[in-house]
Amino acid sequence: MSATLRLKQTARGERPQFSEHPEVDRVMAMTMALASEVAVLRERLDTMETLASRKGVVLTEEIEAFTPEPEHEARRQQWRHDFLERVLYILRAEADQAAERNGV
């Protein structure tokens, strides 16, 4: 029998509040999570383009024409799922805290 156990991924304690509106803080936290992901992605892309260029490899046309194999697409879908979990972490954390308060 295979069962999936979902562990809480939330920090204990109150979340710092920077705005008088908690919704603004939530959107800001999600925006910063996205900004962090984009920055890392941009650095990796820049590294790949630089290394390819140094070797005389032009990839632009190949990248535009690329169609992933099913296994590759499955990995991409898993990555997107994990990415959205990280971006929406704040909402999940708040839902977990509300469930704890309500004894769920």
pLDDT of residue 9: 58
What's the whole-number mean pLDDT along residues 77-85?
A: 91
CA 83 – CA 81 distance, rounded (Å): 5
pLDDT tens per residue across span 40-71: 999 998 898 889 989 999 777 788 899 999 99
Reduce the DSSP state of residue 32 to 3 states and report it.
helix
pLDDT tens per residue across span 24-39: 888 888 888 889 989 9
CA 5 – CA 11 distance, rounded (Å): 18
pTM: 0.52
